[in-house]
Amino acid sequence: MTWRIGVRWAALGLALSLASGCGGSDPVTADPTVGSFVGTWDAVVLTMTPEGSATPVVDVLQYGGFFIVVEPSGQYTATLSLPTGPGVEIGQLSVAGSTIRLDPSVPAGDAVTSTYTLVGDDYLILDGPTEFDFNFDGSADPAEAHFELQRR
């Protein structure tokens, strides 16, 4: 199963703004634009849909779990656990308007963006482009990711 979090998160995806701006690269300095996203978020819904099609929708959580930890600096660590083992991505989250941008550094990859909706203080919805191997042939296909995350 191929996946990219930035939340192609938005991916996660996977790609998480109440203010516009970009996060700094200093892992210690707090970035006020990411304050609403700081914490550990568990996926309660995580689906993938082929780009340009309404079906098939794959419920990724039936195979495992996903969570992301966002630090006050905007540094994030996202983990997708599957029966084949965990996938971990580390990078920098930044916020601009109604989008979140994830710049992965480990493993290195292209930045991804997603739109977000904060529902109250502890529930986050992300929608954005990603890649997913729908037919399990080892080749990722363009897809749309939908995340619903609950803060611990």
Backbone φ, ψ for residue 97 (5° rounding): 60, -125
Assess if residue 16 is contained within a domain.
no
Residue with tokens 């084949």: 84
Assess if residue 18 is contained within a domain.
no
Per-residue pLDDT reduced to its tens digit, 37-59: 999 999 999 999 999 888 889 99
Top-confidence range, 26-35, 81-90, 118-127: 118-127
CA distance 59 to 89: 20
Has residue 17 got a pLDDT over 70? no
For residues 13 and 6, is the Cβ–Cβ distance under 8 A? yes
Assess if residue 113 is contained within a domain.
yes
CA distance 93 to 111: 10
Assess if residue 9 is contained within a domain.
no
Assess if residue 15 is contained within a domain.
no
> Domain limits at 90?
32-135+144-151
Assess if residue 59 is contained within a domain.
yes
Handedness of CA 50, 54, 55, 58 (dihedral sign): positive
CATH label of the domain that carries residue 125: 2.40.128.20
Q: Bigger pLDDT: 27 or 105? A: 105
Assess if residue 57 is contained within a domain.
yes
Confidence bin at 132 (pLDDT 50/70/90): confident
Assess if residue 14 is contained within a domain.
no
| Distance in angstroms between the alpha carbons of the first and the last residue of the chain | 27
Backbone φ, ψ for residue 108 (5° rounding): -60, 140
- Total count of domains within the chain: 1
Per-residue pLDDT reduced to its tens digit, 59-101: 999 999 999 999 999 999 999 998 888 899 999 999 999 999 9
Has residue 11 got a pLDDT over 70? no
Q: Looking at residue 27, what is its pLDDT?
A: 57
Q: Kindly report the number of other CB atoms within 10 A of residue 58's CB atom.
A: 18
